[in-house]
Each structure stands twice: as C-alpha cells, then as structure tokens.
C-alpha cells in the first residue's frame, strides 16, 4: 500500500532534476558555444505485480519509480554574432575546436580565445588551442585568419586551427567545465568553415526553457498534492478502520 509514497517521491525528485537542468540552461543563455542540456526521464525498471488468491496470478508489470535517466546535449547551432575581436572564432556548421587541457584533449564550440604569456593561442582557464601541427604560437593578437583556420602574422603562416568532427555525437561526454571529451572517433575536418572575429552564442531558447520550468514546477506540485491525498487515505486506514 505505501508503495505510492515512493512513486510520488521519485516523481518529485525527477521533476526537481529536470528543473535544475533548465536552470543551468537559463544561466548559460549568454555563454558562447554553450549547448542546451536536457534531462530525459525513464521508469526505473518495471516490477511484476500479481493477484494473490488461491494461487499467485501475475497481472502485469508496473513502472513504479520515475527517474532522471540521461543528460542529453542538443547540438544544434547557436546564433553567430560578430564581435570585431581578432581572437574570437566561431565554427559554422559541424565541427569542434580541440583544446589541450590538464586532463587531456577536450572539444568545444567556444572560440573566445586569448593569447597566453608564452604567446600561444589559448582558451581561458582551459588550455592551449590545438592546431594541425600542435599548439599555435601566434605571439600577437594582430593577425589575420581565413575560413580554413589558417593564421597569418605579418604575411607568415604560423599555424592552422584544427577542427574536429564526430560521426556520432553521442560519443561526446560532458566534462567538468562544459567541455566535451570523446573516447575516440574524432576526425580532423578537411574543409572546416570558420568565422573569424565572431562568436557562436548559446543555442538555448529561453521561451522553451521557461515553459519547461513551469511544466516541471506544476508536475512537481501535482506529485506533492497526490502525496497529501495519499496521506489522507492512509490516515483513514489507520484511524477509521481501527475503530471497527
């Protein structure tokens, strides 16, 4: 009988996890290269329910617990905006920048780069940007770049930004600071399309997020309302039935 409490409790927990996903999306509505993350839900495995009379007859299955299952990344393209800053890059269409972080190679669509003290092109707080021949030593922010990622300083080519693509984006895992890692399957794109002096905005649609937030809130309230009703039913069972 008290099984319902746990089912409703799992509903409350799941909705609150959905809401924290929505909340992270809305917080990052202005983060360059940010991709919407969606928490998908599932039932926690079905249980067999049976009727108990002279013998035990199975009736069917019951999905008793709802649970947050996966955080899916929606890899649609964000809006591109020009910034006029020479260190800003955006990938048009498919592709990711590679960045050599402390924990290995990570991938990102965030192209708001800087130049570190040794003169290498870096992504702030993450690491050096990977070029086709290792890290790119630009030494200056006064350079030109083309759509293939070739960087030219005073007429001399200093490197080419490597752009990677993946056959299956499901291989990409979110790492600690919003970058992605891949177990393998990264291929160097032969003809990437980069936009220089531009950044890709986040692909979060705020109207959709607000709708999801309200839906999650109301779903959660429905669950909590049902918990109250359930409690009242149990109260009847405990107090009134005992009077007989």
Partner 1 sequence: MITAFYTAATGAVQLQKGLDVTANNVANVSSTGYKASQSTFADLVYTNIDAPQGSNSDLKSGHGVKLDKTSTLLSQGGLEQTGRSLDYAVTADNGFFAVQKGNTVEFTKNGDFHLSTVDGKNYLSTSDGGLVLDSKGQPITAVNEQDNLDVGVYTFSNCDALERVGDTSFTATDGSGAAQAVTSPEIKKGWLEGSNVNMADEMVSVMELQRAFQMNSKIIQISDEISQNINSLR
Residues within the interface to partner 1 (CB under 8 A): 12, 16-17, 19-24, 26-32, 34, 37, 39, 68-71, 83-87, 110, 112, 114-117, 119, 124-125, 139-142, 173-178, 199, 206, 209-210, 213-214, 217, 220-221, 224, 227-228, 231
Whose Cβ is closer to partner 1: residue 124's or residue 147's? 124
Residue 185 or 188: which CB sits closer to partner 1?
185
φ and ψ of 120, to 5 deg: -90, 150
Distance CA 26, CA 209 (A): 7
Which structure tokens are listed for 57? Answer: 């007859």
CB 100, min distance to partner 1, A: 17
Nearer to partner 1, 193 or 224 (CB): 224
Q: Residues with Cβ < 8 Å from 218, sequence gap 6 or more?
A: none
Name the 3-class secondary structure at 145. strand
Q: Which is nearer to partner 1, 189 or 200 (CB)?
A: 200
For the bound state, the minimum distance from the C-beta of residue 242 to partner 1, rounded and expressed in Å, comes to: 21
**Gap between the Cα atoms of 37 and 199, Å rounded:** 20
Do residues 43 and 66 lie in contact, with contact meaning Cβ atoms separated by under 8 Å? yes
Minimum Å gap between C-beta 209 and partner 1 is 7
Least separation in angstroms between CB 155 and partner 1: 16
User: CB of 74: closest distance to partner 1 in angstroms?
Assistant: 13
Distances (CA, A) of 241 to 1, 4, 15, 236, 237: 15, 20, 35, 7, 5
Reported for 130-133, long-range contacts at CB under 8 A and 24+ positions apart, including other chains, are 130/97, 130/98, 130/99, 130/100, 130/105, 130/161, 130/162, 131/159, 131/160, 131/161, 131/162, 132/159, 132/160, 132/161, 132/162, 132/188, 133/159, 133/160
Structural tokens at position 94: 């498919």
- Minimal distance in Å, beta carbon 57 to partner 1? 35
> Least Å distance between CB 77 and partner 1?
18
186 versus 189: smaller Cβ distance to partner 1: 186
Contact 32, 111 (CB under 8 A): yes
Residue closer to partner 1 by CB (options 42, 50) is: 42
Question: Measured from the CB atom, is 53 or 84 closer to partner 1?
Answer: 84
């Amino acid at each position: 009988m008290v099984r319902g409490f746990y089912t409703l409790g799992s509903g409350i927990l799941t909705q609150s996890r959905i809401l924290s996903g929505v909340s992270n999306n809305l917080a990052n509505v202005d983060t360059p290269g940010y991709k919407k993350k969606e928490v998908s839900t599932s039932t926690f495995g079905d249980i067999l329910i049976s009727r108990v009379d002279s013998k035990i007859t199975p009736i069917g299955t019951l999905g008793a617990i709802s649970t947050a299952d996966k955080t899916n990344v929606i890899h649609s393209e964000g809006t591109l905006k020009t910034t006029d800053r020479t260190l800003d890059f955006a990938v048009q269409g498919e592709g990711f920048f590679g960045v050599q972080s402390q924990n290995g190679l990570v991938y990102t669509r965030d192209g708001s780069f800087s130049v570190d003290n040794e003169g290498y092109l870096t992504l702030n707080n993450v690491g050096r940007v990977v070029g086709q021949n290792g890290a790119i030593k630009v030494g200056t922010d006064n350079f030109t770049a083309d759509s293939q990622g070739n960087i030219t300083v005073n007429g001399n080519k200093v490197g080419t930004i490597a752009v990677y693509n993946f056959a299956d984006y499901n291989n990409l895992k979110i790492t600690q600071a919003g970058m992605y890692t891949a177990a393998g399957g990264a291929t160097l794109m032969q003809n990437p399309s980069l936009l220089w002096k531009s950044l890709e905005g986040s692909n979060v649609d705020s109207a959709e997020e607000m709708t999801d937030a309200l839906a999650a809130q109301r779903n959660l309230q429905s669950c909590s309302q049902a918990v109250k009703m359930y409690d009242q039913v149990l109260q009847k069972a405990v107090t009134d039935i005992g009077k007989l």
